[in-house]
């Protein structure tokens, strides 16, 4: 059963599988694009909140 959710060894396994699937050259580009997407989403959410409040 899930007691504590994610444990450190879960994260290590997920990172190892991602490295095997995508390769070491594509991972930094994927992380960079994920960061850009998160920034865009955050700024859009902030803009929508600003529109709602007069």
> For 5-24, how does the pLDDT look when each residue is reduced to its tens digit (9 = 90+)?
778 888 899 889 988 998 88
- Phi, psi (rounded to 5 degrees) for 7: -105, 165
**Nearest-angstrom CA–CA distance, 38 and 46:** 12
Q: Is the dihedral of CA 4, 11, 43, 37 positive or negative?
A: negative
pTM surpassing 0.85? no
Max mean pLDDT range (5-14, 20-29, 32-41): 32-41
Question: What's the pLDDT at 47?
Answer: 92
- Phi, psi (rounded to 5 degrees) for 4: -115, 10
Please name the residues in contact with 22: beta carbons below 8 A apart, sequence gap of 6 or more.
Answer: 30
Read off the pLDDT band of 4 (50, 70, 90): low
């Amino acid at each position: 059963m899930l007691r504590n959710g994610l444990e450190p060894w879960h994260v290590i396994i997920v990172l190892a599988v991602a490295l095997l699937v995508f390769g070491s050259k594509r991972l930094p580009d994927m992380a960079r694009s994920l960061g850009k997407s998160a920034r865009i989403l955050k700024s859009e959410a902030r803009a929508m909140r600003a529109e709602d409040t007069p």
